[in-house]
Amino acid sequence: MIRSHRRWIAVFEQHVAKRKNTVLFEIIRLAFRTLGSNKPRAFLTMLGISIGVGAVITLIAVGAGVQKYITGQFSKAGTTLIAVVPGRVSRGGGGGGAAFGVQQAALTIGDFRAVSQNVDGITSSAADFLRVGNLAFEGHTSEVSVAGVTSGYSAVRNWNIKIGRFFDETDGAARNRVVILGQTVVNDLFPDGGDPVDSAILINNQTFRVIGVMEVRGSTFAGDQDAIALVPLDTAQDRLFADASRGAVGGEKFISNMYLQAADDNARDVVKQQTSELLRARHRIGDGDDNDFTVVTSGELINTFGAVLGVLTAFLGAIAAISLIVGGIGIMNIMLVSVTERTREIGLRKAIGAKPRIILSQFLIEAIFLSVMGGLVGVVVGVAGAWGIGKAASFEPIVSLQTIALAVGFSMLVGLVFGVYPARQASRLSPIEALRYE
């Protein structure tokens, strides 16, 4: 008897489960059939979600890729590189802002020599003097940055030579008119190819001999690093840009920046502190007064730019997410129109026994389907957009599974949230009033 009772209970439970599955299948089938009956409307509704998801994925992937690229560029120099730049760089903007200001001042060749000779823990050092010059060769021209640099510049900045050689101390002491070209300049002046080494080119109408070509360095936030020509510092100060380099106190010539390589991470802080103390004494800066120069390590630059780019990426992603909200509003509008158009159908279904939760479920499934399909299309659009931008800008975007899951999940949530109101409106219709609706 007990066994027979249990058997009937099991048969009943299977019947209920089968009936529930049949009802759910019927709801899904009706939802898809309704969407399929008006394909243009469904497509346009999904388009808003697709654009939003695609924009979110593209911006976050591009932002993460740019952050990784720039961090990698700084990291090439190692964590022991220290830069000294003229002027005081201040960071402002309360509440985590990233606004920067610079109070102009000057560094001199005397400052560089004093630091190089008197600060402990420095293994190598370099200085540069930056100006813009016009280069010409056989009718081809290129207006780019011309940097007068010391012989240690290549080792300190990790700027390697592809062909030819770098300057030595003799080139600087003799004020030799020799030049090393970046790859962009080579492409401008020698478009037909060939080896530019030993060619005679003009820089500001002065003849220089090409002694080397640098390896390709690519572009950063600051521009094309290969659009540059290097000459010996003394040549730049005494021959190319003599007027611009003069004027410092004591007759010392100006420099643009100096770079110091510390022996190791432990020596880095010592080098930074001693450099600051020595320059404050040379510039006669009183106690309590701000420096008229800035000493910054490569690690600090990496952290600063990483933080700024991280905030920027999050900000752009938030702006792109607004388009998802707009897409959700579009879904709600379309569903409300659909409720109005199908009022008599809803009334008929309720009159023959359809429960409010069945009507509610059908409209929610339609809204969620639209948002999910739009989200999946948006993933394809976003990945393709990020790849295209990365290809054009020569960096690798980072498309993570977390970003894709977040964008698609958010699109599903948008469909659910903005589909609830139309679905509830449909489920609450009075059968009698719905059947009377014209």
Indicate the helix (H) or strand (E) that contains 310: helix 298-341
Cβ atoms within 10 Å of 22's Cβ, excluding its own: 10
Give the pLDDT score at 10. 47
Which pLDDT tens digit goes with each residue over 241-300?
A: 887 767 655 678 899 999 999 888 888 889 999 999 999 999 888 888 888 899 988 778
Mean pLDDT for 219-245 is: 85
Question: pLDDT higher for 416 or 200?
Answer: 200
Question: pLDDT higher for 170 or 320?
Answer: 170
Residues whose CB is less than 8 angstroms from the CB of residue 74 and which lie 6 or more positions away in sequence, other chains included: 298, 301, 302, 305
Give the pLDDT score at 204. 94
User: What percent of the chain shows pLDDT beyond 90?
Assistant: 29
pTM (two decimals):
0.62
**Closest-CA residue to 280 (of 270, 295, 302, 261):** 295
- pLDDT band (50, 70, 90) for residue 193: confident
DSSP letters along 47-65, please? HHHHHHHHHHHHHHHHHHH
Mean pLDDT for 200-206 is: 95
Average pLDDT score over the chain: 80
Q: CB-hemisphere CA count at 13 Å for 234?
A: 11
- pLDDT band (50, 70, 90) for residue 9: very low
Give the pLDDT score at 105. 64
CB 397 within 8 A of CB 390: yes
Given a cut of 70, whether residue 437 has pLDDT beyond it is no
Question: pLDDT higher for 127 or 359?
Answer: 127
Q: Which residue has the tokens 């290097």?
A: 230
- pLDDT band (50, 70, 90) for residue 330: confident
Mean pLDDT for 357-375 is: 78
Give the pLDDT score at 34. 61
How far from the centroid of its chain's Cα atoms is residue 76's Cα?
A: 18
**All structural domains of the chain with their residue ranges:** 28-71+306-436, 106-291
The pair phi, psi for residue 74, each rounded to 5°, is: -70, -35
- pLDDT band (50, 70, 90) for residue 99: very low
Give the pLDDT score at 274. 94
Give the pLDDT score at 20. 47
Which pLDDT tens digit goes with each residue over 129-176?
A: 999 999 999 999 999 999 999 999 998 888 889 999 999 989 999 999
Positive or negative, the CA dihedral 71, 76, 78, 83 is negative
Angle between the N-to-C axes of helices 401-427 and 298-341, in degrees from 0 to 180, rounded to the nearest 10: 20
Question: pLDDT higher for 112 or 313?
Answer: 112
- pLDDT band (50, 70, 90) for residue 49: confident
Give the pLDDT score at 326. 78
Given a cut of 70, whether residue 438 has pLDDT beyond it is no
The secondary structure of residue 2, as a DSSP letter, is H
User: What percent of the chain shows pLDDT beyond 70?
Assistant: 81
Mean pLDDT for 393-405 is: 83
Give the pLDDT score at 51. 84
Buried/exposed 126-141: b ≥16 CB within 10 Å, e otherwise? bbbbeeebebbbeeee
Q: CB-hemisphere CA count at 13 Å for 184?
A: 16
Mean pLDDT for 346-350 is: 72
Angle between the N-to-C axes of helices 356-393 and 401-427, in degrees from 0 to 180, rounded to the nearest 10: 150
Give the pLDDT score at 323. 75
Question: Identity (one letter) of the amino acid at 255?
Answer: I
Least confidently predicted of 1-10, 15-24, 164-173: 1-10
Given a cut of 60, whether residue 89 has pLDDT beyond it is no
